Amino acid sequence: MCRLSLARLLGSAAITALLAIGLGGCKTMGDITGSLTSKSDTAGETDPRRAAEVYGERYRTNPRDAEAALRYGTALRANGQRAQAAAVLEQASLAHPGNKQLLAAYGRALADNGNFQQAFDVLSRAHSPDNPDWRILSVQGTALDQMGKHEEARGYYASALRIAPDEPSVLSNLGMSYVLSRELPRAEETLRKAQATGRADTRVRQNLALAVGLQGRFAEAETIARADLPPDEAAANVAILKQMLARKDHPRTAARGKPPVVAQDASD
């Protein structure tokens, strides 16, 4: 997302994306905290490169092997080979149009590559109204957010939270939705709620640091960021944020400007 410019802003564990407030820039989905696949999909595969080799060979031997395609695509994404992952999962989804796991993984891969409308459409086929999946609903929300449809996105987060109340990954996405629309106090409130669940990971904390820093409370943002980052890296990230906020074309001083593009929830 120009894929990782300023990717380490306030911690690469949380915001592997360009925060382009009023600065233009390119898109990324980066680290997203909710998974579209079950843990069993990648159980025992701690080395994505090895998994890509093993399942890649199995996939090439039999491209119609749905499980091999799913695991191969997942490993490719973990290795950062997102375009190749999307291509593998697309072919597998065409061969197995009723396989919802493949559709979910393909939709996620499309989102990785910035094809947000197509991702949203594919994800819509990966579950049904009578059997909704909160993870998919959350990622659909992130796709809508990246298309600028923030209110519609929040409806999907609300649906996800009805299924999984106080799920921190969904709350994190909702908080970043408010960042995108520059509703920073609401973003902070939502991210603090995610943090308070006791189940939040580093990405939620770093998203909170971002929301706090964007409000000019740099010392507090640095303190939050230091929970997961070395002090020098946390300080460097906050320094970058200060520089960005000082830009003449920052939305506080500019009549118009592109919204920030941030990583939301859709990781493995």
Is 159 in the same domain as 262? Answer: yes
Of residues 129 and 69, which shows the higher confidence score? 69
Q: Where does a domain end: 97, 125, 153?
A: 125
Owning domain of residue 234:
1-36+131-268
Name which of 108-112, 158-162, 194-198, 261-265 the model is least confident about: 261-265
CATH number at residue 46: 1.25.40.10
Handedness of CA 116, 110, 168, 133 (dihedral sign): positive
Is 119 in the same domain as 146? Answer: no
Rounded to an integer, the average pLDDT of 151-170 is: 97
Residues in CB range of 238: below 8 A, 6 or more apart: 10, 213, 218, 221, 222, 225
Is 42 in the same domain as 28? Answer: no
Is 30 in the same domain as 47? Answer: no
Of residues 11 and 58, which shows the higher confidence score? 58
pLDDT at residue 145, rounded to an integer:
96
pLDDT at residue 247, rounded to an integer:
73
- Structure token digits, residue 186: 């609401």
Query: How big, in percent rounded to 5, are the helix, strand and coil portions of the chain?
Result: 55, 0, 40
Of residues 45 and 193, which shows the higher confidence score? 193
User: Tell me: the pLDDT tens digits for 28-40?
Assistant: 333 344 444 433 3
Q: Is the pTM of this model over 0.85?
A: no
Residues in CB range of 156: below 8 A, 6 or more apart: 137, 138, 140, 141, 144
Is 87 in the same domain as 146? Answer: no
- Indicate the average pLDDT of the chain: 81
Is 237 in the same domain as 149? Answer: yes
Is 137 in the same domain as 261? Answer: yes
Instruction: Report the 10 Å Cβ neighbour count for 131.
Output: 7
Name which of 11-15, 121-125, 219-223 the model is least confident about: 11-15
pLDDT at residue 24, rounded to an integer:
32
Residues of the chain with pLDDT > 70, as a percent, come to: 75
Q: Where does a domain end: 102, 125, 148?
A: 125
Statement: residue 206 has pLDDT above 50: yes
Most confident of 2-11, 15-24, 44-53, 128-137: 128-137
Q: Supply angle C-alpha 89, 5, 104, rounded to 5.
A: 20
pLDDT at residue 248, rounded to an integer:
44
Q: Where does a domain end: 74, 96, 125?
A: 125
Q: What confidence tier does 70 reach under pLDDT thresholds 50, 70, 90?
A: very high
Q: What φ, ψ does residue 96 adopt, rounded to 5°?
A: -135, 70
Structural domain count of the chain: 2
Q: What confidence tier does 67 reach under pLDDT thresholds 50, 70, 90?
A: very high
Residues of the chain with pLDDT > 90, as a percent, come to: 65
Is 120 in the same domain as 213? Answer: no
Rounded to an integer, the average pLDDT of 25-52 is: 52
Three-state DSSP state, 131 = strand
Is 262 in the same domain as 160? Answer: yes
CB-based contact 144:119 (threshold 8 Å)? no
Rounded to an integer, the average pLDDT of 140-147 is: 96
pLDDT at residue 266, rounded to an integer:
62
pLDDT at residue 245, rounded to an integer:
83
Rounded to an integer, the average pLDDT of 66-77 is: 96
Is 260 in the same domain as 223? Answer: yes
pLDDT at residue 242, rounded to an integer:
87
Q: What confidence tier does 244 reach under pLDDT thresholds 50, 70, 90?
A: confident
Is 117 in the same domain as 225? Answer: no
Is 171 in the same domain as 257? Answer: yes
Rounded to an integer, the average pLDDT of 42-48 is: 61
Residues in CB range of 30: below 8 A, 6 or more apart: 1, 7, 15, 16, 17, 262, 263, 264
